[in-house]
Amino acid sequence: MSNMFRRLTIFIPYIWLLVLFLLPFLIVFRISVSILEYGSPPYVPQFEFESWAGFIDKLGMLNLDNYRFLASDALYRNAYISSVIIAFFSTMFTLAIGFPLAYGMARASTSLRPILLMLVILPFWTSFLIRVYAWIGILKPEGLLNQLLLWLGVISEPLTILNTNAAVYIGIVYSYLPFMVLPIYSTLEKLDYSLIEAAQDLGCTPLGAFWKVTIRLALPGILAGCLLVFIPAVGEFVIPDLLGGSQTLMIGKVLWTEFFNNGDWTISSALAMVLLIVLVVPIVLFQNAQAKATEAGK
């Protein structure tokens, strides 16, 4: 009975991945190599999932015209590049804000930490869409931010923030900040701060001890937080659509336009497949970094 329970426990994650990842992945891949047809469904499949052997045999005869079209069209290339750039700098801004917050939480008294942790998680109790909509009221020319700056005399006329890339950065940093704070806090909370004192006793300056001890030991949490922010930010649709305006080019908006406005399922699926490949790279790098950290710890 115990062996059966152990095997079931092992198989449950694999079944979960099979149902929620592999099968949808194969369906999207099948559509991405299909031919567009304005009907129901709006594509003509080029192969069926009859068997794994038949699937592998037909891999060499796939219709890759959709992928060639993506590679030849500057709009899609620019959308991918813009998405990666915006996601990268948003991740760096989130890290610059999130690390001091996590460090302050970890150094706070034990009785105060649960309250600080609750304040970080508190935004999740409100709808993501409502929170993004709230930034429209804050960033628009007659919004709260401009009114405050005008009242303080910092500016003489309202700033144009809404419908710019700056608004997209603000929205992403605000929305994904908890995903950066929580893994870093989890790492720093377990940190043995006597190691910092030992480093200073051995001649390290406070800044040097912070860099060589705190940052190095917090690196797994930093990498996890960066991945949790970067990966969803690359494919973000709601924030650039509501805060970025028509000039903001991100692959999530392009994918939504192709699927819902143009009804082009084949191009949309090809866009999603390429986006998945783009996101696999940082995941592999993170796994390699974790493996090296584990080996170093041994």
What are the tens digits of pLDDT across the range 225-253?
998 999 999 989 999 999 987 778 899 88
CB atoms within 10 A of CB 40: 5
Kindly state the DSSP code that residue 110 receives in the 8-state scheme. Answer: T
Lowest mean pLDDT among 20-34, 156-170, 200-214, 241-255: 200-214
pTM for this structure?
Answer: 0.84
- C-beta separation of 215 from 139 below 8 A: no
Among candidate residues 84, 86, 98, 88, the one with its CA nearest the CA of residue 222: 98
- C-beta separation of 168 from 86 below 8 A: yes
pLDDT tier at 49 (50, 70, 90 boundaries)?
Answer: low
pLDDT in tens, 71-97: 888 989 999 999 999 999 999 999 999
User: What's the mean per-residue pLDDT of the chain?
Assistant: 84
Among candidate residues 278, 276, 256, the one with its CA nearest the CA of residue 265: 256
CA distances from 146 to 9, 131, 136, 142 (A): 55, 19, 12, 6
Among candidate residues 160, 156, 155, 154, the one with its CA nearest the CA of residue 141: 160
Domains and CATH numbers, the chain: 72-297 (1.10.3720.10)
CA distance 138 to 72: 40
Q: Quote the pLDDT of residue 215.
A: 86
Q: Per-residue pLDDT for 294 more than 70?
A: no
CA distances from 55 to 3, 21, 240 (A): 35, 18, 38
Our measurement of the distance from residue 208's CA atom to the centroid of its chain's CA atoms, rounded to an integer in Å, reads: 31
Percent of the chain with pLDDT over 90: 31
Rounded mean pLDDT of 139-144? 90
- C-beta separation of 247 from 50 below 8 A: no
Q: Per-residue pLDDT for 53 more than 60?
A: no
Higher pLDDT, 219 or 208: 219
Residues in the chain, overall count: 298
Rounded mean pLDDT of 61-78? 85
Q: Quote the pLDDT of residue 182.
A: 94
pLDDT in tens, 259-278: 888 888 899 999 999 988 88
Backbone torsions φ then ψ of 122, nearest 5 degrees:
-50, -40
